[in-house]
Chain A
Amino acid sequence: MRDRVRVLLTTEGTYPHVVGGVSTWCDQLLRHLPEFAWQVYAITAGGRRQIPAYRLPDHARLVTAFDLWGSVRRPVWAGGGRAGRDDLAAGLAGALFGWDVSPDRLVDELTWCADHPDRVEAAFRGRVAWRLYLAQLEAIQGEVSPEVAEGWAFDLASAVQGYQALGWIARLAATPVEPVDVVHASAAGWAAIPGIVQRARRGTPMLLTEHGVYVREAYLAATRSENGMGHRALTTRMARGLARAAYRSADWIAPVTDAHRSWETHLGAAPGRIHTIPNGVVADDAVEPPPGRRTVVSVGRIDPLKDVATMLRVAAAVVRRLPDASFRHYGPVPAGQDGYMAACRRLHAELGLGDAFRFMGPTTTPMTVTRAADVALMTSISEGFPMAVLEALAVGRPVVATEVGGVRDALVGAGLTAPPRDVQGLAEATATLLSEHELAAELGARGHARVQRRFSQDAMLAAYRAVLNGLGRARPLAASA
């Protein structure tokens, strides 16, 4: 038997190119589980070369960096001379966007792409392919389901975008992957595609870790958007189609919190395959009390899901009450979020926050910057089991956070929570902890103890070690595949 189980970790907009909670989790796995032969398959978007933010350990290597929408290097497998398949786009559309369709259809379509990589490019060119695709969209619009509103339609601009997106999904499915023993997908979306294909073609087991519920986050983004129904349907149904196929294909689904379970089972995941593995961190040996400078630190990318706008309003409300309070936010601006960053800066100016709230840029030492805080703040509208909260607890800092995902589980007795977007509730909690030093110190100490007891890095690594060994060694290794 092979010495080391080969694991393909697939990521989407995170490791190793973007700093953040999911990337930290990936880095923990790769760095502290050297007994596995790790390969990383990074999917990014934005049409630009991505610069790694993390250095992979020696026992891991980046095997594929697939850039959606922009990586126009024509791979050798793309061919071009072979005839396409006129109904591929229509088939993918039906399998992804249809409401009452079996997820197996998408698995079949993706597998076809992997089996015929030289026919994928041509399949998205030509009059017949386009017309079949439009006819399929019309058929989807006409579906009747008690779960779907009536009287809506895709607009043609969304149809154009959908066609291009399907092309990228097909290219991703057609990208060759070396045989491995386990595919570990870090999200139930684009990152799951290589796993779905390998599961169907080679029987390679698939482990799916879900940090935030992929479908839920797509709906949150669509709900905020000003676009019409056609575009909302396109983005949300694509997420739903990918997630359902991922849940169907995964041998082991590991959400980071039990809070995800309802969504996953609702979308077709077999309850017996869902086993929560919470995130874990290395806690400080001893807790030092908060410095008492009325400093609030938040760590997270600048993204609407993190609701930085609410954070700014909370800061304004707190500063009105405690003028010497200061807020420091650490986090990168991901590709495509420049507009949101600009909007946040405008709001910062409108609220007159000045130096009381500073955007500090990305950090590679979140625990160090959090140690300088009296209170850690998180205002996300969607989370899994946020690393920023765990890291704050690990250094003994009290947390004020929104009640999303697994936050409530993490914070029992160690912080204060409020519903998402509840500016007054979050501001009240923050001001209270900044004013009541003893309470803040006590909550911090409780949180620290809780992390050591329940959410240690060792516990998390042990769980993944067991799952990966179990999946990777339970079947004949794929060396001959």
Chain B
Amino acid sequence: MTLGEGLAQIRVRAALGRPPQDALEAAVVLESWGLPPAAALGVARPDGPQAPPRALEAWTRLAAEPAQRGDGLGLAIGLVAAAVWVVPLVALLSRTAVDAWRWALPVTFFLQWALRRRYLAHPDADPRARLGSLRQGRLGTLVWALAGALAVSTLIWALPAGAVLAMVAVWTGGLLLVQRGWTLAYLALLGGGSAALALGAPVLADVAGEVSGVLILVGLAVATSRPNTRWPRPWRETLTCGLVGAAVALLIVQFRFPANAGGLELWTVAMVPSLLGGLVGFWWLGGLWPALGLKLARMAVGGRGRERLAAIARGRSATALVAYIVVAVGLSAAGLATLAPLGLTRGDALTVFANLDVIGLASAALAWMVALGRHGLALATAAVALCAGIAAGHLGVAPLATDPQLAGAGVAAGLAGALLWWTQREPDRLLAELR
């Protein structure tokens, strides 16, 4: 078959519905029409200007995907349930056990942040596949062995020494169960355990039952997950994120409760506004990538408007901050009114809420920094904040005598905010450097 150059161009244009990008694309089309390769490569030519950039399919699809609001709600319920569970527990234990949460929280946060980063950084849309990575080979065996050892230790050591392990197991297990979509089962287990305690069940038996229950549920959750062969994130990144989480928890455990602040009950209730605020803020931030991707797909390299990208990213971050403040402050105000019957002074209650709201903000900012791939920066920020908190406590320079961690959390939030602002000055590069 022979074909003139003009006829070839017409044929190619008709087949593609647009001019070919170059001679090779024209040759491919001509070949599929039946022209031998040598002849096709001989007559193929580009033809006419190209259409302007168009959004990539992947970005368009991503932008169209509905946000997973159900997951956020599940996480909130799970966190609150886990926090509430500790109240009746410590109420029935000695002072040693009350202090257990100060040890348990950093360990838990370390494990939660590390697990999230290593295995859940890119969660599958299907909850049944999210924990599948934990089933892989030696890792699965290790997880099972650790979980079993933890349960046995708890039972053997008994309370109150085992309280740390119990809290770590229940809180860390909670993260996995919520990710699996089993929030209601988790809630039912903790609620049942708390109710049994209130009705006079033996503390040791109750806690051992709950720990075993959570571990069994986690085991079932992992075992019934679909195999997931996604590569885990690197260990260096995992450990860095775990340490950031531990630092956030250390900021919290520096907390010195006002003398008549009602102990952990207040701590638990006061944590809710920052948790929900963080969830709302993160949900809003999560929309940045698809929004940014669509914008990038419509913007030509070398064209105008690249400088506006920073405004888009920073604008979304600022809006997320506002959302956090509105939710956290609003709920804190409601909490202040609710807690008046506990006999707290307004100043004490305000201190508690303010502390936890600022820590929540710092935690969210650090988590966002991690999500942007700036793990080292997040760890450095957390370390500086921790040092600031400790120094403020020792030197007595904290704004309020009871809240050295407010200084630390304030430093963390401020520093992380400034660094995030600076990091987002070139969002296209930020995206390009993500792995």
Residues of A within 8 A of B (CB): 47-51, 67, 70-74, 99, 124-125, 127, 130, 134, 137-138, 141, 146-160, 163-164, 167, 215-216, 219-220, 222-223, 225-233, 236, 240, 259-260, 262-263, 266, 381, 403, 419-421
Contact = CB atoms under 8 A, between A and B. Distances in A.
Contact of A263 (B41, B54, B55, B230): B41
Contacts of B435: 72, 164, 167
Contacts of B16: 223
A52 B125 CA distance: 26
B53 interface: yes
A152 B301 contact: no
A229 B50 contact: yes
Contacts of B428: 130, 156, 159-160
Interface in B15-43: 16, 19-25, 28-29, 31-34, 36-38, 41
A338 to B, nearest CB: 12
Contacts of A147: 22-24, 45-46
Nearest to A220: B28
A141 B302 contact: yes
Interface stretch (B95-103, B291-299, B394-402): B291-299
Interface in B127-153: 136
A155 B29 contact: no
B234 A72 contact: yes
The secondary structure that dominates the B interface is loop
Contact of A157 (B29, B52, B296, B303): B296
Nearest to B303: A153
Contacts of B433: 124-125, 130, 163
Interface in B297-347: 297-303, 306
B35 to A, nearest CB: 11
B25 A223 contact: yes
A48 B36 CA distance: 39
A32 B55 CA distance: 49
B260 interface: no
Q: Which 4 A-B pairs rank lowest in CB-CB distance, beginning with the nearest?
A: A155-B53, A228-B54, A151-B49, A152-B50
27 contacts: A47-B230, A48-B230, A49-B229, A73-B231, A130-B428, A130-B432, A137-B301, A137-B302, A146-B46, A147-B23, A148-B46, A149-B19, A149-B21, A149-B48, A152-B50, A155-B54, A155-B298, A155-B299, A157-B59, A159-B301, A163-B432, A164-B432, A219-B25, A227-B56, A228-B56, A259-B37, A262-B41
The number of chain B residues touching the other chain, given as a range, is: 35 or more
B45 A157 contact: no
A151 B302 CA distance: 13
B57 interface: yes
Contacts of B302: 134, 137-138, 141, 153
Q: Considering residues A159, A228, A233, which has the most beta carbons from chain B within 10 angstroms of its beta carbon?
A: A228
A150 B50 CA distance: 7
Contacts of B431: 160
A71 B54 CA distance: 30
A51 B229 CA distance: 9
Contacts of B297: 155-158, 228
B71 interface: no
B348 interface: no
A85 to B, nearest CB: 16
Given A149-B19, A229-B50, A74 B37 contact: no
Interface of B: 16, 19-25, 28-29, 31-34, 36-38, 41, 45-57, 59, 136, 228-231, 233-234, 236-237, 293, 296-303, 306, 426, 428-429, 431-435
A172 to B, nearest CB: 14
B51 A236 contact: no
A341 B251 CA distance: 51
A70 B231 CA distance: 6
B41 A266 contact: yes
Given A138-B301, A159-B301, A403-B34, A70 B426 contact: no
A158 B47 CA distance: 23
A318 to B, nearest CB: 23
Contacts of A381: 32
Given A134-B301, A157-B56, A419-B34, A232 B21 contact: yes
A229 B53 contact: yes
Contact of B51 (A130, A134, A229): A229
A236 B49 contact: no
A266 B28 CA distance: 13
A240 B300 CA distance: 22
Contact of B49 (A149, A159, A164, A231): A149
Contact of A216 (B28, B55, B293, B306): B28
Contacts of A225: 57
A160 B434 CA distance: 10
A148 B24 CA distance: 9
A227 B57 contact: yes
B136 A49 contact: yes
A219 B27 CA distance: 9
Contacts of A216: 28, 31
Nearest to A230: B53
Nearest to A75: B234
Contact of B306 (A137, A156, A233): A156
B300 A130 contact: no
Contact of A72 (B52, B53, B231): B231
Contacts of B19: 149
Contacts of B24: 147, 215, 219, 236, 240
A74 B51 CA distance: 41
A262 B43 CA distance: 13
Given A130-B429, A159-B428, A419-B34, A152 B230 contact: no
